[in-house]
Amino acid sequence: MLRFAVCDDDAEELQRIASLIKGYNDIHPNLEVMSRLFQSPRKLGAFIENDHDFFDVYLLDILMPELDGIHLGKIIQHECHAPTIFITSSKEYALDAYGVHALRYIIKPVHRRQLFEALDAAVKFVSEFTKVVQVKSQDGLTPISPADVAYIENRARAAHYLMADGKEVIGQTNRGKFEESVQSVVEENANFIHPHKSFYVNLHFVRALKADYLLMENGTKVPISRRNMAETKHIYLEYLSRSGGRA
């Protein structure tokens, strides 16, 4: 199920957007969509910061009393990195919206086509992060979310999946090529690169690209072979550019 949070101090506008989301769900009946409406940004902020009750997609107005949408967007990015769509009457805040990596910035009045395009982008973004693949591990079949895999290492002829939470899933001994054994995981997420013959890396968890290695969020250094250096740099910069400007 996809959970949307809509926040606008104007009750009429809130209902209008909720109705549009329902219309979106009618066109995509396979998607299970649930919307929760918030007229108070402070209440939504409390949900996120205190209750850690995260939604999949946030649609926020910007000019609101108590707490403006940009600040709320920063809280969302800090807590859960969920895609955010800003819906506002003024172009002036577009610059600030880019600063919180907004997915889209829509000027009121909201047109159906515009909102649906933004919701398509949000759904695509979320689906990439929720896919699960069954991997043959030493403990049998283990479900792995490719979006949560930081990197995969070929060690002693077995694929080691290092997860973002620090856990490690060890695949079965590999009789064939390393690339073929991890294909089912790697092809489900567009953020994987192959900087070295023994490594696949999820760019989402790369902290920096150094002279001849990728520095991961957990401090691990993944080597880059000389042959792959130029391409790795190109793909990494392309990824950062894409991540920074979703709007």
From 60, 87, 97, 119, residue interacting with other proteins (rule: CB under 8 A) = 97
Contact 61, 9 (CB under 8 A): yes
236 binds other proteins (CB under 8 A): yes
Nearest to 218 by CA among 148, 149, 166: 166
233 binds other proteins (CB under 8 A): yes
- Letter string b/e over residues 56-80, b meaning 16 or more CB atoms within 10 A of that residue's CB: bbbbbbbebeebbbbbbbebbeeee
Contact 247, 96 (CB under 8 A): no
Options 57-65, 124-132, 152-160, 231-239: segment touching other proteins (CB under 8 A): 231-239
Separation between Cα atoms, residue 39 and residue 52, nearest integer Å:
19
90 binds other proteins (CB under 8 A): no
150 binds other proteins (CB under 8 A): no
At 201 the three-state DSSP class reads strand
From 46, 208, 218, 221, residue interacting with other proteins (rule: CB under 8 A) = 208
- Nearest approach in angstroms of CB 67 to other proteins is 19
99 binds other proteins (CB under 8 A): yes
Binding site for other proteins (CB under 8 A): 95-101, 206-209, 226, 233-234, 236-238, 240-241, 243-245, 247
